[in-house]
Structure 1
Amino acid sequence: MKKKLINHTSEHFEKILQKKPEYIFLSPGRINIIGEHVDYNDGFVMPAAINKYICFAVSKNEDSQCTLIAKDLNEAYKFDLNDELKPIDKMWANYILGVLHQLKKKGFKMSGFNIVFSSTVPMGAGLSSSAALECGIGYAMNKMFELDLSKEEIALIGQKAEHTFAGVNCGIMDQFASVFGKKNSVIKLDCTTLEYQYYKADFKKYSLLLLDSNVKHTHLTSGYNVRRQEVELGLAIIKQHFPEVRTFRNCTEKIVLDLEQELGPIVFKRCLFVVKEIQRVLDAADALTNSDFKKLGQLMSEAHKGLSKEYEVSCDEIDFLVDSVQHEKTVLGARMMGGGFGGCSINLVEKGTEDELIERVSQQYRTAFGIELKPYKIKISKGTTLYKN
């Protein structure tokens, strides 16, 4: 699959630009094992890079002219690197222009270049194709023009590009996972300090399976902003009663339960979810250390219940996908992954049983919603890399 992607991208580069690319870069999408909606609540997350990639075939120019070619979309964009870079009406180009704008702002010297890119990261499935695009470009510029950026700087530049040129106020997890990914390891990331630790994620006789609901409800942005306001209000009320609480990280479940009346029904549920989810990530790290996959699966399923009933960011389709596997002996755990209101469920399943499960759930899902399910069998892979030059 990876080889095929590289060959297709290189061949397209040669066909369009009449020469071989000087460099090939691969930038992966990501999953999050557990730790949803806690990145903006001083929590921890547990992402990993996966074996779905954006492949970039690149060559430098002697002048300042740049050509970007999105092979899968059959679109191109040309510009002069010396001109002021601004967002345009092609969203895919904005992720790239945003990174270049950040690099120029920092005073880095670059020449023009030609890029052809193609992807196996599904768009809109919550696997962070945008972060893979940003980090791939940042990584490529860093290598080609010897900018001497650290991995952390590349991730932060990608995040800033998304804020400024795509208008999405995302956390750092996606970009961090794309750059720092390591084969068979998940990253426990402190979203506040950016301290991180790798945990071995060799699931032995189990594997990770994503089931893409193929829906994306429009509540994502509005729901996300409302949730942020609710938890900020909740934390302010908690601090009034318990001044020693600085963030949700040093707030306990007991404190939230004691303040149920003061918080009111909605804000109470939101705060309860956040405190429990932060603890679940710490428990998941212990489970991985002990290769206790049963416990990990249980934590994933508990997280889904919280996301659906307490944080209320799931939807009927995703709830259906999670519920339909909960009583399967071959499934240790399942939950929605990502911002919510659509996207994928992530399932920890017994190796060798995936196809049968996919067939059964696909049929049930089609009957219930009239929608075709998209399954992705994934492996945990390394982060953004130079493939060859």
Structure 2
Amino acid sequence: EVKFSLDSLSPSKKDTWANYLMGVMDEIQKAGYPLQGANLIFISNIPKGAGLSSSAALEVVTALTMAKLNLLEIKPVEMARLCQRAENNFVGVACGIMDQYVSCLGQKNYTLFIDCRSNDYELIPFKDPNYQVLICNSKIQRGLANSEYNKRREECKIATEFFKHKLNRKIRALRDITIDEYKKYQAQLPEIIARRARHVISENYRVRAGVQALRMGNYSAFGQLMIESHRSLKDNYEVSCAELDLLVDLALKQEEVLGARMTGAGFGGCTVNLLRREYIDVFEKTIKQGYKKITGILPDIYVTPPAEGAKVIKLG
């Protein structure tokens, strides 16, 4: 149980999980919305530290609840950005916007295509009943994720500054670099910086290609892009780990699996897998047996079709 006053919000060193709540309430008030106090109870089945956006879920459900209790009209995009600011400014984690966007804007049987520069988004259908998404939890806690995340940001910043000096046009981020431009200059970059840039630049192309594949209903092509993404996360961005690689390898040995990759910040957590629906039971059995045999750990597996984001549920 944690108690705090809306009139004097400051980060707690003891109850660090409550900082996500206080940060959201702080940002709501900074945005000019009046808040009254409330008694809140949180019940969750999202595993902590597994790369499944538990912090964003906590932030968004807090924002939505406080908005409803105080009769505030906060639009989903504004709510997502407010929650991101809470995590950046109050909690002190330099997270992106993706998790909050999905929690605010997710719809059943749709994926979400986000432009993190313009904050534009598009719902992309994921409705083919023949295919299913499954999550495999390695049960390895993400011990290095925060420090390495910040390190990767700095490495990408170095690469961005390099290309700013090389190219005669405005460069704001690595997304502005074409693959051909990268290939032309990659040899002039330190090896590690070159690999970090290679991942980000190629991943942006994979995202766009993935959107096109889903629009066309080409799940095989989408699955192949997932595989390529994991390879790059492993070899170029270096944020995977032995257990995540094992889960991906075990998945891809099965013919009915179209794609598999790690998800989240890396260094533990989960993989996301795309397979034919009728193969779910065989997949679960094979993954659990294979992973436990090598690691001694029985992984958790979640069948997770694309679902709605946060919403109010009326009881009784």
TM-score by length of 2: 0.95
Q: Considering fraction of residues, name the structure with more helix.
A: 2
More deviation, 223-232/244-253: 244-253
More deviation, 278-287/156-165: 156-165
Aligned residue in 2 for 1:248: 174
Q: Determine whether 1:360 maps to 2:291.
A: no
The CA distance in 1 between the partners of 2:131 and 2:53, in whole Å, is: 24
Residue 86 of structure 1 aligns to which amino acid in structure 2? Answer: S
Q: Considering fraction of residues, name the structure with more strand.
A: 1
Question: 1:208 touches 1:346 (CA, 8 Å); kept in 2?
Answer: yes
Question: Which runs of no fewer than 5 residues in structure 2 stay unpaired?
Answer: none
Q: Deviations over 1:310-368 (max 9, x none)?
A: 11111111011111121311100000111111111100011122222222221221121
Q: Determine whether 1:144 maps to 2:69.
A: yes
Runs of 4+, deviation exceeding 4 Å: none
Aligned residue in 2 for 1:345: 271
Aligned residue in 1 for 2:9: 85
Question: 1:189 touches 1:196 (CA, 8 Å); kept in 2?
Answer: yes
Q: Deviations over 1:88-135 (max 9, x none)?
A: 221221111111112222332222211112012222111111111111
Aligned residue in 2 for 1:16: none
Q: Determine helix, strand or coil for the equivalent of 1:259.
A: helix
Aligned residue in 2 for 1:68: none
Aligned residue in 1 for 2:186: 260
Q: 1:238 aligns with which of 146, 163, 166?
A: 163
The CA distance in 2 between the partners of 1:161 and 1:293, in whole Å, is: 36
More deviation, 236-245/169-178: 236-245
Q: Determine whether 1:228 maps to 2:153.
A: yes
The CA distance in 2 between the partners of 1:347 and 1:95, in whole Å, is: 29
Aligned residue in 2 for 1:324: 250
Q: Determine whether 1:153 maps to 2:75.
A: no
Q: 1:374 aligns with which of 300, 304, 307?
A: 300
The CA distance in 2 between the partners of 1:252 and 1:346, in whole Å, is: 28
Pairwise mapping of residues 175-194 of structure 1 onto structure 2 (< 5 A)? Answer: 175-194=100-119
Aligned residue in 2 for 1:106: 31
Q: 2:230 aligns with which of 301, 304, 318?
A: 304
Aligned CA distance change for structure 1 residues 79 and 250 (closer, same or farther; 3 Å)? closer
Question: 2:284 touches 2:301 (CA, 8 Å); kept in 1?
Answer: yes
The CA distance in 2 between the partners of 1:379 and 1:313, in whole Å, is: 26
Residue 123 of structure 1 aligns to which amino acid in structure 2? Answer: K
1:157 shift after superposition: 1.5
The CA distance in 2 between the partners of 1:130 and 1:320, in whole Å, is: 26
Question: 1:337 touches 1:345 (CA, 8 Å); kept in 2?
Answer: yes
Question: 1:238 touches 1:245 (CA, 8 Å); kept in 2?
Answer: no
More deviation, 170-179/219-228: 219-228
The CA distance in 1 between the partners of 2:128 and 2:152, in whole Å, is: 33
The CA distance in 2 between the partners of 1:217 and 1:237, in whole Å, is: 31
Q: Determine helix, strand or coil for the equivalent of 1:116.
A: coil
Question: 2:114 touches 2:120 (CA, 8 Å); kept in 1?
Answer: yes
The CA distance in 1 between the partners of 2:193 and 2:36, in whole Å, is: 51
Q: Determine whether 1:204 maps to 2:129.
A: yes
The CA distance in 2 between the partners of 1:190 and 1:262, in whole Å, is: 29
TM-score by length of 1: 0.78
What is the count of residue pairs matched by the alignment?
313
Q: Determine helix, strand or coil for the equivalent of 1:186.
A: strand
Question: 2:156 touches 2:174 (CA, 8 Å); kept in 1?
Answer: no
1:245 shift after superposition: 5.3
